[in-house]
Amino acid sequence: MGFRLKTKTPIFVLMSSTAEEFLVASEEKAFDKRHRRIINYNIGKYDAAVERGLSRIINLENIKRKQHVIKWRVMENLDKYLPEFEANFMKHGGKVIWANDAEEANREILNILQKAGAKTVVKSKSMVTEEIQLNEFLEANHIESLETDLGEYIVQLLGQKPYHIVTPAMHLSKEDIAKLFNERFGTPLDYTPEQLTQKARELLRDKYVQADVGITGGNFLIADTGSVAVSENEGNARLSISFPKIHIAVVGIEKIIPSIADLDMFWPMLATHGTGQNLTVYNTLLNGPRKPDETDGPDEMYVVLLDNGRTNLLAQKEQRQALYCIRCGACLNACPVYKNIGGHTYETTYSGPIGSIISPHMNGMEQFKHLSYASSLCGKCTEVCPVKIDIHKMLLLNRRDAVNEHLVTPMEKYGWTAWKQGMLKRKWMDFFSGKTKNFLLKRFFKKTWGHYREMPTVAPKSFSQEWMERNGGRD
């Protein structure tokens, strides 16, 4: 067993190349009116559906608290639940592979494919395979890997990454997709969404039968039964599992839940917070390869349990609750920053508020600490989270860690020290006149709010000075 524990950026933030690219891209997207119109229209549809779905749930807050406690228990006992899942899954003939990082996961998957002589792979929607860049890795090794989820298929045709955890093509209008299909497959530009979907089904249908291997993710790993739970709306995951002779499920180690009985909460909450449905259309429990008396299913089934930085986050006692995430995407849809700059701007697999929490720990604080500053701290992400992750607090803790790890410039360090001293005593706040403060703001901080906003003008006199004058010198 291979498991082992191991908005704008504020004025003074150490700028990595990733952070600089983020600032440029976010400004571009924030003022791209067409992009904002598309994403706000699509998120608006989801918001309306989710609101209707949540209205049907009785004692919503109690369910959230219960799910939070279950995930807390799992993370505090991960070294117990993962081996339990492994033992129960292997009882049914499945095989478990432990991967410490993306390189190891890809290498193990390639070994399976090469041993089987596989040349074609069909994949259902899986963020964790995006995380390890599996498609690119397989292509480099001359193996065709085809996305079968409609949204994933569309962004794959465009050579893009998923834009959103749940809806990969959220940034595209129906006209964009019609144009893509016209260019690639010759379909009429006036095709409706239903006709475009039908065309995609026709193109993919033969691929399921011809594929050597099917690869999926997993929404939940169930410890007491050794099952992989997969939720979807299109049926493509079931087809990817049923026809190929080999099935590989790549799943993060945090996806474990203790019991199959817990699914009666997690499945509806995932569906409702993700799309507003009572339940996703297809919910499948996979317990291993096909049994002798079964008519379909793979001859071999593997589960790749991926760490890839998750234990770095697990080691952070105050922030490990970020691993409770069930990838519903609710925090992305609620976030005012995400709604303005979109998913690709983050340059990480997991965008939005949850991505801003986990990416610095999984991919490196030095390169991705800026994401924790890309937040208004309005708290809406925390409010909508179905497992009650205290997201905006986690963002502040990441900011603290960046300072404690000395990932800041001297200018930031001394600047905040001076600000603190000035705020501690009124005489220091009143020392400089409003005219001086305005000069300093416009001279040294002119560009901190971007090209489209001007710095505020400080009043000539402070509040305390005004008070003293109006009250005859009395405090």
- 3-class secondary structure per residue, 402-435: HHHCCCCCHHHHHHHHHHHHHHHCHHHHCCCCHH
Q: Is 102 within 8 Å of 309 (Cβ atoms)?
A: no
CATH code of the domain occupying 57-311:
3.40.50.10420
Split at pLDDT 50, 70, 90, the class of 16 is: low
Split at pLDDT 50, 70, 90, the class of 12 is: very low
Nearest to 243 by CA among 201, 215, 285: 215
Average pLDDT over residues 287-314: 94
215-254 residue pLDDT tens: 999 999 999 999 999 999 999 999 999 999 999 999 999 9
Split at pLDDT 50, 70, 90, the class of 473 is: low
53-67 residue pLDDT tens: 999 999 999 999 999
Amino acid in position 432: F
Burial 282-318 (b: 16+ CB within 10 A, else e): eebebbbbbeeeeeebbebbbbbbbbbbbbbbbebee
Q: Is 219 within 8 Å of 41 (Cβ atoms)?
A: no
Per-domain residue ranges for the chain? Answer: 57-311, 410-470
| Distances from the Cα of 116 to the Cα of 4, 45, 141, 161, angstroms | 30, 44, 14, 29
Mean pLDDT of the chain: 91
Half-sphere exposure of 215 (CA within 13 A, CB side): 27
pLDDT at 434 over 80: no
What's the pTM?
0.89
